[in-house]
Amino acid sequence: MANILVVAEMHDGKVRKSTHSAITFAKNAGGTFSILVLGQGAKAAAAEVTGYGAQKVLVCDDAYLAAPTAETHAPTIAAAAKGFDVVAFTASSFGKDVAPRVAAKLGAGYAPDISGVKEEGGKLVYRRPVFAGNAFATCSINTPVQVVSARQSEFAPAEPSGGSSPLEDVALAAKDPAAERVKFLGLNAAQSARPDLGEAKVIVSGGRALKEKFAEVLDPLANMLGAAVGASRAACDAGYAPAELQVGQTGRVVAPKLYFAIGISGAIQHLAGMKGSKTIVAINKDPDAPIFQVADYGLVADLFTAVPELVTELKKATG
């Protein structure tokens, strides 16, 4: 039975919702778990995760951890990991950045992007996608302490389970000299009133076919559905959509309830990022586009007339 340390991710003085996927991972793995909240303002933020069934919530609240850099965070995470069998992150950009550094400090093996976990013969085995999701591998880690990151699209956010985990302060570990050679200049946050791609229940994604009309065509549909907007790599590369909207092997991996692929041909790269969606709708004028092979509902049509019509029909249908 593994004892797991879930590392929470903080942003703007709060625990990021992405953390709840790592909590679900810990619950699915069986055994027991605790949560580590570290950052400036961690003490106030920690209250948010005390109701999820953790044995305890470890807190390191220090101004030194104000910026989310791997060099500042890794030493304290590695020190807090003492006594735990598994250190679990969510495979967000924060998790992917810092987890290997923690693994190296602990002499631990690191398995990223876990999509499934089970216990077999007293040890944990992990399932993870390889080759852009064209195959799934089963692997195990051979070191006494293990580090993993859990895919947000595969582990649904944990729901509060009641109770209240006790808080316990942990000290800031000795600073990594490498941290002195990194200066955090700032985060240019993407400004959007829409839900985050990782958390949205509905995603409306567009491809290069939308050209300069990307927002003009997709926004009304996204607004109508309260959806997040995504994009293919081709649309991002061409400058029709900002880079952070990219869905794919090399962009965000998403699994909403409903995914619209509009003017997206469906390169493997893109499919790898959205195949896990529950219901997929494709609108494309090319009847042979590969996207139709994964779509539950395909509509062969010119998107410039079909999407506005869709908005009108949805208004009628949902009143």
* Footprint on residues 18-47 left by another protein (CB under 8 A): 18
Nearer to another protein, 79 or 299 (CB): 299
Least Cβ distance, residue 217 to another protein (angstroms): 14
Nearer to another protein, 23 or 281 (CB): 281
Using rule CB under 8 A, residue 230 touches another protein: no
Stretch of 22-30, 54-62, 154-162, 279-287 lying at the interface with another protein (CB under 8 A) = 279-287
Stretch of 19-27, 47-55, 160-168, 235-243 lying at the interface with another protein (CB under 8 A) = 235-243
Give the DSSP H/E element, type plus range, for residue 259: strand 258-262
Angle formed at CA 155 by CA 150 and CA 156, multiple of 5 degrees: 140
Residues 237-276, one symbol each (x = binds another protein by CB under 8 A, - = not), give x-----xx----xx-x----xx---------xx-----x-
Interaction residues for another protein, span 146-185 (CB under 8 A): 176-179, 181-185
Q: For residues 148 and 6, give the distance between their C-alpha atoms in angstroms, rounded to a whole number.
A: 10
For residues 149, 153, 155, 157, the Cα torsion angle rounded to the nearest 10 degrees is 110
Angle formed at CA 264 by CA 259 and CA 251, multiple of 5 degrees: 70
Q: For residues 29 and 123, give the distance between their C-alpha atoms in angstroms, rounded to a whole number.
A: 10
Least Cβ distance, residue 79 to another protein (angstroms): 14
What is residue 175's three-state secondary structure? coil
Whole-angstrom CA distances from 318 to 12, 117, 223, 258, 283 are: 36, 39, 13, 16, 20
Q: What is the CA radius of gyration of the chain?
A: 21
Least Cβ distance, residue 129 to another protein (angstroms): 7
Stretch of 20-28, 58-66, 97-105, 157-165 lying at the interface with another protein (CB under 8 A) = 97-105
Least Cβ distance, residue 29 to another protein (angstroms): 17
User: Site for another protein (CB under 8 A): which residue of 118, 278, 286, 302?
Assistant: 278
Could you count the other beta carbons within 10 Å of the beta carbon of residue 259? Answer: 28
Least Cβ distance, residue 84 to another protein (angstroms): 17
Stretch of 54-62, 99-107, 153-161, 215-223 lying at the interface with another protein (CB under 8 A) = 99-107
What is residue 109's three-state secondary structure? strand
Written as six digits, the tokens of 141 are 């880690």
Of the candidates 142, 143, 91, the residue with the CA atom closest to the CA atom of residue 114 = 91
Q: For residues 184 and 71, give the distance between their C-alpha atoms in angstroms, rounded to a whole number.
A: 11
User: Site for another protein (CB under 8 A): which residue of 28, 64, 301, 304?
Assistant: 301
Written as six digits, the tokens of 279 are 């219901």
With beta carbons less than 8 A apart as the criterion, state whether 37 and 59 touch.
Answer: yes
Q: For residues 99 and 41, give the distance between their C-alpha atoms in angstroms, rounded to a whole number.
A: 21
Stretch of 48-56, 58-66, 138-146, 167-175 lying at the interface with another protein (CB under 8 A) = 138-146
Q: For residues 157 and 40, give the distance between their C-alpha atoms in angstroms, rounded to a whole number.
A: 24
Nearer to another protein, 138 or 161 (CB): 138
Using rule CB under 8 A, residue 82 touches another protein: no
Using rule CB under 8 A, residue 137 touches another protein: yes
Using rule CB under 8 A, residue 65 touches another protein: no
Using rule CB under 8 A, residue 130 touches another protein: yes
Stretch of 25-33, 34-42, 167-175, 187-195 lying at the interface with another protein (CB under 8 A) = 187-195
